[in-house]
Amino acid sequence: MSNSSKVFLIVLIAMVGGGFYAFNQWNAGASSGNELAAGPVDLTIPEGTGARAVSQLLEDNGVITSAGAFTAFAAADGRANQIQAGFYTLQPGTSNEELLDILVTGPAGAETFTVTIPEGLSVSETLARIAEAEGSQLTVEELRAGLALVALPEWVPADRELPEGGEAFEGLLFPETYEFTVEQPAEEVLTRLVQQTDTVLNRVGAASRNELTLYETLVLASLVEDEARVAEERPVISSVIHNRLEIGQALQIDATVVYGIVAAGLERPERLVNEDYEFQSPWSTYVNAGLPPTPLSGAGEASIQAAAQPADTPFFYYVVENPETGEHRFSETLEQHQAAIAEIRGS
């Protein structure tokens, strides 16, 4: 063997050895100098979390020292999109290969409970629904305490002045069916509801008409949610609200009056009377122009969609025409509206 051949062989061996060492370091997750947690880590991976976000979650909680190394390993392994959501107890320092095996297999028999949050519930009603769900270990008091630890989405105005009696998270707990593990703390449970609102609202987008922000769009969506009982009418009801906002006409939505009365600590009226419409509340759209300061309840995606993309109509008024179905009759002018009311009521 010539001298040049010997040199080439030595270099090749060194490269192979170095690559094997690098692979071992990569698989072990070594790199960043971040510290591992001192003991087992309880961790929840929310639904829809991608491999990169999972990697960062693992690093932030001290399960691994390098999010980048785990992301790269999962991608090279081909199972990056197979990571299962759920609650895990993980041992810090586990190799990337073993860790990926665990996350792809999914949580090992964790006890869970399911809760369905209907559209139109307030924060208080939503917390009660979670606490009362079969298998739930959480109390309303624990959920209240957990809510104080949840971060508001960045599109909620930082300078928002919450009126007395207002709920900071009103309208932000998305109505849907969820599955949680019984070990999950209240903060994690409620964060998932808020994240779902953020996901849906960003997917739908803000209403370009009247140049509403994402938060204002959510407020409007809660009005649509309360007013519409027939799915096809949602975009039409939204158009009435947008039409009135456009010319500065009071929205005059009864639900805002009821919300304001309850927020003031008074008993919820079974039926509104004349003096209720004069009740001074920041939420009442009879005594205040524009949208109320917060949503009234949790709006579903259909109502958010209608709020962001209203129908193009000339209507400014509506009245319930069929109490059984909740169908409305829509009118362009006050005179037409009054005539519709007289006809429907037979007067």
| Domains of the chain (ranges, CATH numbers) | 36-110 (3.30.1490.480), 112-202 (no CATH), 207-345 (no CATH)
Nearest residue to 70 via CA among 96, 108, 33: 96
Nearest residue to 284 via CA among 319, 262, 307, 254: 254
Contact in structure between 255 and 299 (CB atoms under 8 Å): no
The predicted structure's pLDDT at residue 257: 95
pTM score: 0.72
The predicted structure's pLDDT at residue 219: 98
Phi, psi at 337, each rounded to 5°: -65, -45
The predicted structure's pLDDT at residue 239: 97
SS3 85: coil
pLDDT tens, N- to C-terminus, the chain (347 residues): 554 443 344 334 334 344 433 444 444 444 445 789 888 888 888 878 899 999 999 999 999 999 999 999 999 998 888 898 888 889 998 999 999 999 988 877 668 899 999 999 999 999 999 999 999 999 999 999 999 999 999 999 988 889 999 999 999 999 999 888 888 899 989 999 999 999 999 999 999 999 999 999 999 999 999 999 999 999 999 999 999 999 999 999 999 999 999 999 999 998 899 999 999 999 999 999 999 999 999 999 999 999 999 999 999 999 999 989 999 999 999 999 999 999 988 85
DSSP 168: T
Q: Residues 6 or more apart from 117 whose CB is under 8 A from it?
A: 126, 129, 130, 173, 174, 175, 176, 177, 178, 193, 298
Bridge partners, residue 112, by sequence: 181
The predicted structure's pLDDT at residue 18: 40
Contact in structure between 38 and 63 (CB atoms under 8 Å): no
Phi, psi at 74, each rounded to 5°: -65, -40
Concatenating the DSSP letter of every residue in 203-258 gives: HH---TGGG--HHHHHHHHHHHHHH--SGGGHHHHHHHHHHHHHHT-----HHHHH
Pairing label, strands 327-331, 177-181: unpaired
Contact in structure between 244 and 250 (CB atoms under 8 Å): yes
